Structure formats: structure tokens, C-alpha cells
Amino acid sequence: MAPSGTLTPAGQRQGHAGELTSEQLQSYNDDGYLIIPNALDASTTASLLQETKSMLSSFSRKDHPMTKFSTGENNKAHVGDDYFLTSGDKIRFFFEEDAFDARGTLLKPQHRAINKIGHYLHALNPAFRESTLTPFNAGIARSLGFRDPRVLQSMVICKQPEIGGRVPPHQDSTFLYTNPPSAVGFWIALEDATAENGCLSFAKGSHRRSPVKSRFVRKQDGDGTEFVDVEGATFPRDFDVEEKAQKDEVYTMGEVKAGTLVLIHGNLLHKSEKNLSDKSRFIYTFHAIEGDNEYDERNWLQPPETGFSKLYQ
């Protein structure tokens, strides 16, 4: 984990196979997130960034439905077309809403217009696979108590200059619901993330007082997506819950350098602001869920025929 640790072939700095120290684990349990600087070395980080830029420049818009990624704010529908719903085992490109004018004309060059690339990079792209399915990340999962972690929803979020969209407060387990909740986000900065270009902010400790009340699912008629009430467990199994909820959460900004890994508990409220600066904020993220927890057919993202990727090899 420490910067002075040995490097794996994937370029990840490794102490004892990625295992968290007792201090790191305590911080994660208390706060609901953990910032680990230098988790990726500079060379690997630069390579993943270059791979991202190459994909952005080279993908074909022929037959592309020009799907825009929307978080559903301001009474807009959350993204939910077929291109999105069938992306769980593919690499697809989703546009920024503000990359278009009111008539639908694309205002930005292709490489500056994409919101995110997803959602199967960890399986289909060799560079991202080699930085995802690693002993380092498996060691972290063991430290967090995973029995059979499965990797899903891997993506690059671009946060483009001037138009990179705001992401409102949310919990990752809303979008990757298991019963009981088990999602953990692995969020890796490919560029410096700052207050100016839309870094993450966290409601520290909210994972212990914020139940997962809704989940993002496919509509039962097959036409799009929607949020529905959670009928199962709202906190992870055997979890120490704070009974007293906080009315107004206070968010702590998490400015980080490229190569930093941030672990995010699935119940933790976190957000990011719009990028109005002239600098992009590219990050790579994937998620792990407990393989033996129920993951049903209503979830928007469905597993490929071979199942979600095993992190323990």
C-alpha cells in the first residue's frame, strides 16, 4: 500500500498483497471512504489515461444512438435506453448532455464530448483488466471482509472541461443493489482531481446513518429505468448502524493526485460538482459486490452469461 512498496506487473504499489493496515481499515469503517495515494504508479496511470484518450478519439459514431448520460436531475429521465441497458458486457460511449445545443447538434469534438465509457472495461480492455483483476485489489477486498467479490460496472468517467456534468449526492448500492447491500467502489484518479475540475465530496460517516432506501431498476414493462423502494435489507449484514440520522449532511472535499485510489462504501453519500474549468478530470472506477448475496433480475445492469468477474483468482 505504501509508496515504497514493490510494484506488481500491473503497476500497482503493493505492501502485503494490497491488504489494508489496521489504521486504514479503521478510517474506512469510521468515514465510509478511504483515500490511498499512489495506489497506481505514474507509468501505469499515464498508460491508462492514454488508452482512454485513444478510445475517445477512435470510436465510431456510425450507428451510434448518441445516447446522453443523464443522472435524472431537474425532472429529466435517467438514462435508460437499450444502448445503456445492454452495456454491462460491452464497451460503450455515453455523451455529455451539454455537448449538444437545443437542436441536438454536437458542439464539441468527439473526444471532448463523452461523459463516460462503460461498463465492461475490466474484461474487454487488456490495459484496464491488468489494473483491475489483481492481487492488490483482491487483498483490499479481503481486508474489507469480502468472501467472494465480483467485479462489475467498470467505467471511465471523463468530467470534460467546461461541460462535465454535476453528480448529485448518491449511494452506489442504489445502482448495484444486493440483498443485503454489499457494493464497494474502487475509484482511481487518472488525472489530478481538484475543486476546480469536479473532485468528489463525501458525507463522512453517512454510511452508518443512511439506509439504501431506493434502487435503480429496469421498468417492468421493459421500457427504460426507474427508482423503486427497497424491499429488502437497507444496510450490510451485521453492520453497526447509527440510530440518529443527520438532517443536513456536511460534505468533505476529496482533492487527490493522479494515481490515487479511493474506496467508497456502498451506503456512503457522495457527490461531485460540474466541471467549469479548462481541465478534464478523468477517472477509472469499478465496483465489487458480494458474490453470494442476492442480485436480482430487476437491477439495471445484468450479468454476462459467464457471470460477474471473480476478483479472487
**What is the structure's pLDDT at 278?**
97
Strands 91-96 and 68-69: what pairing? parallel
CA distances from 165 to 8, 162, 282, 300 (A): 34, 9, 13, 21
Mean pLDDT (whole number) for 133-141 = 97
Residue that the C-alpha cell 465509457 belongs to: 117
- Banded model confidence at residue 8, pLDDT cuts 50, 70, 90: very low
Lowest mean pLDDT, pick from 53-67, 73-87, 163-177, 207-221:
73-87
Residue-wise pLDDT tens digits, 273-293: 999 999 999 999 999 999 999
Please say if the pLDDT value at position 185 is more than 80.
yes
- Say if CB 33 and CB 264 are below 8 A apart: yes
Please say if the pLDDT value at position 213 is more than 70.
yes
Average pLDDT, the chain: 92
Please say if the pLDDT value at position 14 is more than 60.
no
**Number of helices and strands in the chain (H, E):** 7, 17
- State the DSSP code for 40: B
Residue that the C-alpha cell 429529466 belongs to: 76
Angle among Cα 301, 79, 282 to the nearest 5 degrees reads 80
**What is the structure's pLDDT at 73?**
64
Please say if the pLDDT value at position 204 is more than 50.
yes
